[in-house]
Chains A and B, each alone.
Chain A
Amino acid sequence: MKRILPFFLPVMTIVLTSCQVATETPKVTGGDVRLSGADSAAYLDGISSNPTVTEAEAMKGILLVLDEKRKMNFAEAVAALQERKIVASNWDFQADKAITRGRIAYMAYQAFGLKGGLTLWLTGPSQRYCLKELQFRGFMGAGISYNTITGMEYVSILGRIDEFRQTGKVTGASAREGGQE
């Protein structure tokens, strides 16, 4: 045991330090794009017919759920969400790029204020495991983290976040595929 320890400890410290999330400043493309000033009903109706959701639109949705009423541009929205730890600090942002299911899951997981399983507890939130957690709870449908999401799906996810934040539960989630409320 005494022989192993001198090797084991440095290896473990290297492993643990490499696991830490890099705190780089995010690259924001299209930061001056103004987010729409629509109210939540108009926003949801407008987005529901879109085949994909852009990052700017997604940010606007999350801000509406969080009851953020300030009018802001994309860069300001990113900063506001980073402040609330809704988005990861090491992501790159592009206003007109279609957002992925993994990113939505990460943002939703943080907005839900959930406490996840063992992997999430050990490693912190990640797109992959946030998606798995939300699928497990019946809050999100099947799909993989690097795929895009339709506007209608995003509307229903935002609705669930809102319901969970208001009531602490999501109606019918327990009976869904993999649902465990």
Chain B
Amino acid sequence: MEKYLRTSFCVIVLMTLANVATARQNKATSKPKPISVTVKEVSGTAQRLLAGKDKKWAPLKAGEKIDEMTVIRTGFRTKVVLVFADNSVVTIQRATKMGIGEFRKEGKVTKTRLGLKYGSIRAKVKKAGGPNDFQISTPVATAAARGSESLTMFSPDFGHEGKSFSGKWRHKKGFKVQNISGTEMTNNKLEKPINVTKRIFTPVVRDLYGGLSKKELKYSRRQSTGRAVLSSSPGDNKIKRIINRPAPWRRKVIKSTPRPISPIVTPNLRVPGLDEGN
């Protein structure tokens, strides 16, 4: 019995040791490997930052292979198409500056991290070649793909904007997350796609500076046909409010004056005795 126990114990110990060794080997083999990106198409003015001490910008050419930590900038009338090793296609639009932060294989997962300083990127992520971790970061938010096509834009005046063409995209800004799919769109506030779509169809209320009162907003929403409501001068109502505001020494007096109690009008109620005379 003892012999049997000893041999079985030895077998178990050997097996665990073998397991640990194979796991270590696997870990060593799954060390992230950077993969290169091919420039498929270049039209217009596009440049990439050369690595080295004296950083210089060199023109980007079709057929060129670029690595991680590459920064690309484009000018007007420009389009650059990058093909990643996992067959994902990234189109850099005009007036854009972006960088490839990471593009490597971690085990089976292809990890891609792109950074967008300004402009817009259209990404078509393919999952056929295995699982993918694809992210585009703008200065304010992040868009992550789950096997789909999308356009991510960043401009300082309208901020982070994302439009999906197919599949699901997850936009994250701080703690706020917005998932978009199909042909939905989200904006810098990461609003629900339905609210963004609503804006296209509802008449525009010109209240860019927040000068309208609730009543005015309601009225213009109902009555306006877009541009007819021109009330967006920087301080329309604010100025009026400031002008009409009573002087500080008068404010207290106004606050302390009792409001006149308005008589309750009840047109249908007939009071016997009082109404008879009328």
Interface residues of A (CB under 8 A from B): 39-45, 48, 64-65, 67, 117, 119, 132, 135-136, 138, 140-144, 150, 152-153, 155-159, 162-163, 166, 171-172, 174-180
Contacts and interface: CB of A to CB of B under 8 A. Distances in A.
Contacts of A143: 157
Contacts of A180: 204, 226-227
A157 B118 CA distance: 11
Contacts of A141: 155-158
A31 B185 CA distance: 46
Contacts of A65: 76
Which of A45, A65, A174, A180 is the most central at the interface, judged by chain B CB atoms within 10 Å of its CB? A45
B73 A45 contact: yes
B90 interface: no
Interface residues of B, number: 42
B199 A140 contact: no
Given A39-B45, A152-B156, A135 B185 contact: no
A177 to B, nearest CB: 6
A175 B153 contact: no
B200 A179 contact: yes
Nearest to B72: A41
Given A132-B232, A144-B234, A172 B76 contact: no
B206 A162 contact: no
B227 A158 contact: no
A64 B151 contact: no
Given A64-B76, A65-B76, A132-B232, A175 B157 contact: no
Given A45-B97, A135-B208, A175-B196, A40 B185 contact: no
Given A152-B156, A156-B157, A171-B153, A117 B227 contact: yes
B117 A48 contact: yes
Nearest to A156: B155
B155 A136 contact: no
A173 to B, nearest CB: 9
Given A44-B95, A135-B208, A177-B208, A155 B157 contact: no
Nearest to A158: B95
B163 interface: yes
8 closest Cβ contacts across the A-B interface? A141-B157, A40-B75, A159-B95, A156-B155, A41-B75, A152-B156, A162-B76, A144-B234
Nearest to A176: B158
22 contacts: A40-B95, A41-B47, A42-B75, A45-B73, A64-B76, A136-B226, A141-B157, A142-B209, A144-B234, A150-B156, A156-B155, A156-B156, A159-B94, A162-B95, A163-B93, A163-B94, A175-B161, A175-B196, A175-B197, A176-B187, A179-B199, A180-B204
